[in-house]
Amino acid sequence: MRKQLRNPGLWLALSITAAFCLWPALASNKTYARETAFTILKAVAFASSLNILLGYTGYVSFGHIVFFGLGGYVGFFLMDAYGVHLVLAVLAGGLSAGALAFLLGRAILRLRGAYFALATLGVNEAMRAFIKNFDAFGGPIGMTLNFSVYNDYGGPNQALWIAYIGTALLTLTVVLVSFLVKTSRFGLGLMAIRENEDAAEVMGVVTPSAKTWAYILSAVFPGMLGVFFFFKNGNIEPPDAFNLHQSIETIVMVMLGGFGTVLGPVVGAGLYQRLRGLLLVSPLFKNTQLVVAGVLLLIAAVGAIAILKIGLPRRPAAANPDSKTTAT
């Protein structure tokens, strides 16, 4: 463990994340820095959690935003209807997302490749349709948090900082957990599944259980993140909670920085959010943000496939059936 904790990649990833966390405290315009850093940290946490599934097991989830939305709705509802404290609401959001991942994992993780990816798309759309018709969660118009709730946190302005600090701590935790998973025996099993699931089973990896736990772990953190995000915003609606574009952008971040690594999602999220900010303020490219994301995803995917092909060992030449050489 001590040797693993001396890994330079871990400390570089934590240092970059910590720099984003501390930026508002050092900036002259603290409000602008806080909002910008919040967006980046949210992206880093989301990308690092998705990397546990996509990067380590190779299962591409286009509907991972469903855990962000469900966790946000559960935590928001508890705070609004029952006055539950933010900390408990965050834990409830994470648990609800993990429970959904467990139920889904028992079913859709039996699928592989494109079939799994398509199934996750269907799950997200089904959940969004369900929430739109669920009156307890406000139906299609969502819910708005009573501003009196913020009085328990020192007022709206102080509540914004509390949400930011909570997100910062959660992001650091996700990065650390991602490293611990990667360097553990459990993580080695996940990476064996990524390389060849059938061979992993032969070598003794209990693949259904390993995939399910990876799915649960990658879902809990987005669920907690959703509570912080919507608590900060003060309202929640189905289109924002289950925005498919965010799932696609998160995949781009993971692939852009380097999937299957601890540092990759941190760097990819930072670079993509910086590029996204430049595009949004550009008169020429402000409406082509998702086009650029798609191009980046295509380039990253092609590059990853090329790297994997280079790294694969060549198969030995098949024996010539016409050969007259016989074994002795």
Backbone angle region of 320, left / alpha / beta, with phi > 0 → left and psi within -120 to 50 → alpha: beta
**pLDDT value, residue 321:** 46
pLDDT in tens, 153-204: 989 899 999 999 999 999 999 999 999 999 999 999 999 999 888 899 888 8
CA dist 73 → 131, 167, 242 (Å): 9, 17, 10
**pLDDT value, residue 297:** 62
Q: What percent of the chain has pLDDT over 90?
A: 55
**pLDDT value, residue 230:** 96
Residue 320 lies in a domain: no
Average pLDDT over residues 223-249: 92
Average pLDDT over residues 205-231: 94
**pLDDT value, residue 192:** 93
Mean pLDDT over the full length of the chain: 85
∠ Cα 296 285 247 (to 5°): 45
Q: Describe the crossing of helices 8-26 and 156-182 by its angle, rounded to 10 degrees.
A: 170
Residues paired with residue 235 on neighbouring β-strands, in sequence order: 144
pLDDT at 326 over 50: no
pLDDT in tens, 96-149: 999 999 999 888 998 888 889 889 989 999 999 999 999 999 999 999 998 888
**pLDDT value, residue 238:** 93
Per the CB < 8 A criterion, the answer to whether 206 and 144 are in contact is: no
pLDDT at 327 over 90: no
In angstroms, the CA 256 to CA 250 distance is 10
**pLDDT value, residue 15:** 93
**pLDDT value, residue 259:** 85
pLDDT in tens, 263-317: 999 999 988 888 777 766 666 666 666 676 667 666 665 655 554 444 444 444 4
Residue 19 lies in a domain: yes
Residue 272 lies in a domain: no
Residue 312 lies in a domain: no
**pLDDT value, residue 316:** 46
Residue 139 lies in a domain: yes
Total number of residues shown for the chain: 328
Per the structure, the count of domains in the chain is 1
Write out the residue range of the structural domain in which residue 234 sits: 2-242
